[in-house]
């Protein structure tokens, strides 16, 4: 019992009980952040899906409200599925969502708040003209779902995208409307990528190439790039790509075809799915929500009575330094939780050793650490390893020329449980260092029936940059970010035995690294 209670998070969003999946229709309205979500009110497994609803002033502390929409019409009786919000210039709020109809056809519907003067937007009205869209000819009735937020075009019309597939080519269809009453399917597709399967929860939004802030979904122009994201049903991961949107032609083109949607970058290399951004007009930022599952199996979820949570909302911007990726960073409100803080500055860690850091008995941590490597040492690196990946390596046990170095979190004193989050540097045949950022969950829990992946990705590190990481620990959850958010991982380490989150610095066996600074902060 105590064990179960310990696993629930403190500063991540979770309903009080039962199953949750995708974030839906996030928005900011009259001082409140709203999150809706795919929710099963009856069990800790997927099914009977309605829209759960909660509000917050700060994206951290939530007030749970009654379900915003339940499955009560023929066109959504098999599930009120995923959708997105659009704020119209006249103050109206339009919620576009997918319904699974009485014969399990996927149709698109519209809903709006019953009372716009209610900042909590408690009551929702389903549009009497629903469904507004049926699957078009040539599209399987079960492959047509998850409308995006609509954007306004130069011609004054609204457009939104819907994910689908043709054979195994993932596609995004686009509809156009003037009034949200009649809709036209545009010719062609926004984008298509062969062999990626069904695209769920497509997201499409602009990022600024010059400004630090986020952008309203309708913005476009010469200093704007567009991000296209798809959640690959077959692979259960969220892939994004950066490119340009040609509004006139109605197509999006990736900057780098090798990094196209579904074959290139992921938001997160742990479990992170069905994500969705919204533009926060109050703080002029774009915020990313993502559904994260834990390492537990279904039987354990049923025993616990709940399953899954939402990742900490992350601000997303274009990385103006690299030009190749986004930067994702926990919203600044998380920092208000740093009630106690400890700094470990210029500590020296012996090569090949582990140094426990005294963070007290905290179960919630926000850790920032930086490592520096002499450029000379980097240049001397002679380990040509073209093959290394986090996932195919033997994890933190595998020693290389430079790495692994990083932190062990959720670590017991005797190391029987530990989750290393670390860098590993190899040298490619082009002579340049390649930096990997990995999480090794193979020893996260002594329970033998939980996920135990080793995974991660490469991360761009510019010459002379320190190797920096940030790790949020929230009871059983770890979220880690490298190089200011150029890449990230999430892990849910359920049924770990550790009841405190021990932290140890892990040092590479070479004496090349200096820990420059670490600030740990417990809440």
Interface contacts to ligand FRU, rule CB under 6 A: 21-22, 38, 49, 79, 81-82, 98, 145-146, 200-201, 274
Residue 38: CB minimum distance to ligand FRU, A: 4
Residue numbers annotated as active site: 22
Q: Tell me how far CA of residue 141 lies from CA of 81, 104, 138, 170, in angstroms.
A: 14, 8, 9, 15
H or E element in which residue 5 lies: helix 2-7
Peptide bond into 404 cis (omega under 30): yes
What is the DSSP-derived secondary structure letter of residue 3?
Answer: H
Q: How far is the CB of 231 from ligand FRU (least distance, A)?
A: 6
User: Which residues contact residue 244 at a Cβ distance below 8 angstroms, ignoring those fewer than 6 apart?
Assistant: 225, 226, 252, 253, 255
CB of 479 to ligand FRU, least distance (A): 19
Query: Nearer to ligand FRU by C-beta: 43 or 337?
Result: 43
Which residues are CB-contacts of 278 (< 8 A; sequence separation ≥ 6)?
26, 27, 28, 84, 85, 149, 286, 287, 289
Task: Count Cβ atoms within 10 A of the Cβ of residue 519 and give its class: 0-12 exposed, 13-18 middle, 19 or more buried.
Answer: middle
Quick one: CA dihedral 379, 380, 386, 389, positive or negative? negative
Q: Rounded to whole angstroms, how far apart are CA atoms 11 and 179?
A: 39
CA-CA distance, 501 to 357, in Å (whole number)? 11
DSSP bridge partners of 409: 419
Pick the closer one to ligand FRU by CB: 163 or 520: 163
**Rounded CA gap, 241 and 266, in Å?**
8
| Shortest CB 174 distance to ligand FRU, Å | 18
Query: What's the CA gap between 274 and 19, in Å, rounded?
Result: 15
Nearer to ligand FRU, 52 or 502 (CB): 52
Alpha-carbon span 311 to 332, nearest angstrom? 14
Closest to 49 measured CA to CA, from 30, 22, 74, 26: 22
Which of residues 20 and 441 has its CB atom nearest to ligand FRU in the complex?
20
Q: How far is the CB of 236 from ligand FRU (least distance, A)?
A: 9
Strand-pair partners of 343: 519
- 145 versus 159: smaller Cβ distance to ligand FRU: 145
- Nearer CB in complex with ligand FRU: 49/408: 49
Contact 113, 124 (CB under 8 A): yes
Q: How far is the CB of 230 from ligand FRU (least distance, A)?
A: 11
Min CB(49)–ligand FRU separation in Å: 5
The answer to whether the CB of 145 falls within 8 A of the CB of 162 is yes
Give min distance, CB of 150 to ligand FRU, in A.
17
CB neighbour class for 247 (10 Å; exposed up to 12, middle 13-18, buried from 19): middle
Please, are residues 489 and 480 in contact by the beta-carbon 8 Å criterion?
A: yes
Taking the least distance from each CB to ligand FRU, the nearer of 208 and 293 is 293
Q: Which is nearer to ligand FRU, 83 or 420 (CB)?
A: 83
CA angle (423 as vertex; 472, 504 as ends), nearest 5: 55
Number of other CB atoms surrounding residue 131 within 10 Å: 20
């Amino acid at each position: 019992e105590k064990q179960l209670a310990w696993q629930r998070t403190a500063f991540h969003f979770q309903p009080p009980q039962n199953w949750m999946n995708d974030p839906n229709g996030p928005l900011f309205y009259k001082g409140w952040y709203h999150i809706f979500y795919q929710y099963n009110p009856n069990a800790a497994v997927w099914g009977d899906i309605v829209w759960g609803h909660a509000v917050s002033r700060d994206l951290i502390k939530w007030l749970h409200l009654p379900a915003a929409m339940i499955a009560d019409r023929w066109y959504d009786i098999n599930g009120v599925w995923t959708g997105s919000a659009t704020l119209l210039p006249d103050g109206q709020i339009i919620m576009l969502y997918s319904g699974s109809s009485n014969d399990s056809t996927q149709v698109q519907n519209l809903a709006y708040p019953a009372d716009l003067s209610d900042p909590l937007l408690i009551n929702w009205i389903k549009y009497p003209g629903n469904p507004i869209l049926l699957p078009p000819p040539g599209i399987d009735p079960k492959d047509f779902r998850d409308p995006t937020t609509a954007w306004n075009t130069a011609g004054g019309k609204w457009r939104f995208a819907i994910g689908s597939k043709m054979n195994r080519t993932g596609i995004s269809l686009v509809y156009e409307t003037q009034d949200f009453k009649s809709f036209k399917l545009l010719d062609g597709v926004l984008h298509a990528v062969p062999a990626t399967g069904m695209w769920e929860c497509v997201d499409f939004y602009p990022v600024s190439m010059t400004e630090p802030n986020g952008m309203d979904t309708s913005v476009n122009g010469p200093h704007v790039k567009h991000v296209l994201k798809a959640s690959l049903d077959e692979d259960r991961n969220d892939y994004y790509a950066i490119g340009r949107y040609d509004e006139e032609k109605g197509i999006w083109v990736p900057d780098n075809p090798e990094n196209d949607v579904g074959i290139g970058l992921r938001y997160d290399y742990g479990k992170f799915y069905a994500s969705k951004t919204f533009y926060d007009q109050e703080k002029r930022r774009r915020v990313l929500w993502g559904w994260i599952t834990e390492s537990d199996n279904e039987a354990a979820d049923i025993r616990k009575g709940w399953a899954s949570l939402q990742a900490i909302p992350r601000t997303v911007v274009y990385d103006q330094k690299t030009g190749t990726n986004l930067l994702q960073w926990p919203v600044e409100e998380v920092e208000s939780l740093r009630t106690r803080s400890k700094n470990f500055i210029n500590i020296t860690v012996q090569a090949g050793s582990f140094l426990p850091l005294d963070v007290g008995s905290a179960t919630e941590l926000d850790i920032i650490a930086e490592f520096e490597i002499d450029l000379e040492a980097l240049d001397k690196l002679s380990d040509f390893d073209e093959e290394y990946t986090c996932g195919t390596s033997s994890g933190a046990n595998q020693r290389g020329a430079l790495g692994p170095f990083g932190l062990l979190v959720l670590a017991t004193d005797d190391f029987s449980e530990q989750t290393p989050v670390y860098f590993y540097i190899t040298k490619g045949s082009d002579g340049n260092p390649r930096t990997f950022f990995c999480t090794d969950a193979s020893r996260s829990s002594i329970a033998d029936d939980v996920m135990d992946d080793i995974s991660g990705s490469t991360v761009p590190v510019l010459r002379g940059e320190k190797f920096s990481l940030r790790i949020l620990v929230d009871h059983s959850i770890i979220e880690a970010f490298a190089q200011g958010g150029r890449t990230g991982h999430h892990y849910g380490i359920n049924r770990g035995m550790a009841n405190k989150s021990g932290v140890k610095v892990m040092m590479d066996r070479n004496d090349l690294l200096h820990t420059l600074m670490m600030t740990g902060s417990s809440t």
